[in-house]
Structure 1
Amino acid sequence: MTPALSVIIPACNEALYIDACLRAVLASEMASDNGLALQVIVSANGCTDDTATRARAHAPGFAARGWALEVLELPGLGKPGALDAGDAAARHPNRAYLDADVTVSAPLLSQIAQVLESPEPRYASGHPVVAPARSAVTRAYARFWVQLPFVAQGVPGFGLYAVNAAGRARWGTFPKIISDDTFVRLSFSPAERLLVSARYEWPMVEGFAPLVRVRRRQDQGVREIAQAFPHLLINAEDTKPPKRRLLALAMRDPLAFATYAAVSLAVRAGWRGQSGWVRGR
């Protein structure tokens, strides 16, 4: 049986990133003789740039591999609406949800498609790697952040998460919340989350103020889920490192620790306050 996967890419004004994202998907390898049936749906959500045009230009390359690429030009529906539109167009019951600024490694999608071939509910992702940053602040923040238990030990799924048919049946339309990835991850127990060996590259926002905006948005998203879906918290991980581990990290890289702490303090202090979903870059 050929593993099959529908990949849904919500994209709002992602002209700077969509080409690299789709080129990486197109370069996906087959991990078995059974191949891979792949459908890619770009949900161009309220775009005022040429995201849709750029995405559509990749269609011949996908067709040459026997894969489908569809571009939906949508009004501004918000990310949940764009995800729902992608789901409505999806042909395969197993789904991957991929941010437009993420680039997957060649084996990743095939590995994910294989582990999702199960009658039991499954959630899957790969190993996230932070893309090289231009900003010294972002580089320092990232060095500390990637060592947190949530990133280093779990299946975080930020930028890319996938579910099989039994897993997708756990919710209907995407709730209109800030953090869709947290909602989906917490819809599965830790035992149901699978980490494959392949990697994907995820960009972190550049500079102190954008880092604060994104960190605040993340914290607000977690609180929103705790209020709206408290039953999901049973699947939450302990993301705080033990004090001894925290001290060791701080001593090993004081600048990285200080940068991470400064961003956290700025969020707690309400510096440049915001509410709801905001774009980091």
Structure 2
Amino acid sequence: MSIVIPAHDEERVLGRLLRGLLESARPGELDIVVVPNGCADATADVAASFGAAVRVVETPEASKAAALRLGDAAARRFPRLYVDADVELRTRDVRALAAALEHPGTLAAAPARRLAMTGRPWPVRAYYAVWTRLPEIRRGLFGRGVIAVGTEGHARLAALPRVTADDLAASLAFAPAERAVVGTAEVVVHPPRTFGDLLRRRQRAAAGTDQLEAAGLDQPGGSARTGTADLAAIARREPWLLPHLAVFLAVAVIARRRAARAGSAAGWQRDESSRG
């Protein structure tokens, strides 16, 4: 299997990911390509410290899209995984994703998501209590920082244009029957540690969703928008979540307004707090 990891100033978290990936890997089992892009820190040095187990392909251009293309060109094998540098994934999870792609008709796969919520303030926990209950969040491949494809799925991804919400675009590129969330694989995702960073992250997500819809990329895999019917169903099923729903709606409204005002000048809006 090949694993492509785009990494922009990720020296604080990259080693954590690489240690997990190599935890029980057999010699030569994983072809790991790290692409430090536009880094002003020691990301490349961290990757190189793992020796022959990790290949480093560096570029001065700070662009995830460009890094993914470079990593793709350097990768040697299928199945192929694209993994964000700030998540945690282990050898056994990689194997489970590769096994899922062997099922006929499965073109793309992602692991089950576990959020590391320790130390997060109540508004952040409240937001994610609702977010993780949304049907599209449960069944989509996005918001996990990991997507695995075989040769046919790879061709589908290669045809996508450059967009900010690359993981969402990748998920929506596949019909529900073509993608799988693999329960025997798990990725640990680190949410924002502050409410302000949550807003920044959601602003970027809102801008990315607008971009996808403008480009007509919200099919065939469904819509990325949260429907009022989904929120109403949560309220009926679990009325104790009403205060959490209020936080969720407030974050959604503020993020969309900020994204609309910022337009193309929104920038990366990366959450730095989760990398602390």
Q: TM-score range by the shorter chain?
A: 0.7 to 0.9
Q: 1:15 deviation in Å?
A: 1.0
Please name the residue that 1:54 is paired with.
Answer: 46
The number of equivalent residue pairs is 265
Query: Counterpart amino acid of 2:30?
Result: L
Alignment correspondent of 1:127: 112
* Aligned with 1:91 (options 61, 67, 76): 76
> Structure 1 counterpart of 2:36, which letter?
A
TM-fit CA distance, 1:189: 0.7
Q: Which ranges of structure 2 fall in alignment gaps of 5 or more residues? A: none
Matches within 5 A, 1:1-281: 5-28=1-24, 37-59=29-51, 68-117=53-102, 120=105, 122-136=107-121, 137-156=123-142, 158-172=144-158, 175-197=161-183, 198-228=185-215, 230=216, 232-237=218-223, 239-240=226-227, 241-242=229-230, 244-248=232-236, 251-270=239-258, 273-274=261-262, 275-281=266-272
The amino acid of 1:258's aligned partner reads: A
Greater helix proportion? 2
**Deviation of the 1:89 alpha carbon:** 0.3
RMSD: 2.6
Shift of 1:84: 0.3
Name whichever of 149-158 and 88-97 sits farther off: 149-158
Structure 1 portions without partners, runs of 5+: none
Amino acid at match of 1:27: E
Kindly, what percent of the aligned residue pairs are identical? Answer: 32
| Aligned-residue offset at 1:144 | 1.9
- Aligned with 1:167: secondary structure? helix
Q: C-alpha separation between the residues in 1 aligned to 2:60 and 2:5?
A: 15
TM-superposed deviation, 1:110:
0.1
The answer (yes or no) to whether the contact 1:144–1:249 under 8 Å persists in 2 is no
CA-to-partner distance for each residue in 1:39-88, whole Å, 9 max, x for gaps?
Answer: 111110111101111111122xxx5xxxx410112112410000000001
Contact 1:55 1:71 in 2 (8 A): yes
**Contact map agreement 1:122 1:164 (CA 8 A) in 2:** yes
The aligned amino acid for 1:115 is A
Deviation at 1:108, TM superposition (A): 0.9
Does the Cα contact within 8 Å between 1:150 and 1:156 map onto a contact in 2?
no
TM-score (norm 2): 0.86
* Partner-residue secondary structure (3-state), 2:211: helix
Query: Which secondary structure state, in structure 1, belongs to the residue aligned with residue 236 of structure 2?
Result: helix
- Counterpart-to-counterpart distance in 1, 2:33 and 2:247: 38
Alpha carbons 1:84, 1:174 under 8 Å: kept:
no
Contact map agreement 2:4 2:80 (CA 8 A) in 1: yes
The amino acid across from 2:188 in the alignment is: E
Provide Cα deviations, 1:195-223, integer angstroms capped at 9, x if missing partner.
Answer: 21221101112222221121121121122
* 1:157–1:185 CA contact under 8 A, matched in 2: no
- On the 8 A contact 1:124/1:155 being kept in 2, the answer is yes
User: What is the CA–CA distance in structure 2 between the aligned matches of 1:151 and 1:231, rounded to whole Å?
Assistant: 17
Q: 1:196 to 1:121 in 2, by over 3 A?
A: closer
Q: Closer, same or farther in 2 for the Cα pair 1:222/1:231, shift >3 Å?
A: closer
Question: TM-score normalized by structure 1?
Answer: 0.84
Which has the higher mean CA deviation after the structures are superposed, 117-126 or 39-48? 117-126
Give, in angstroms, the shift of residue 121 of structure 1: 5.9
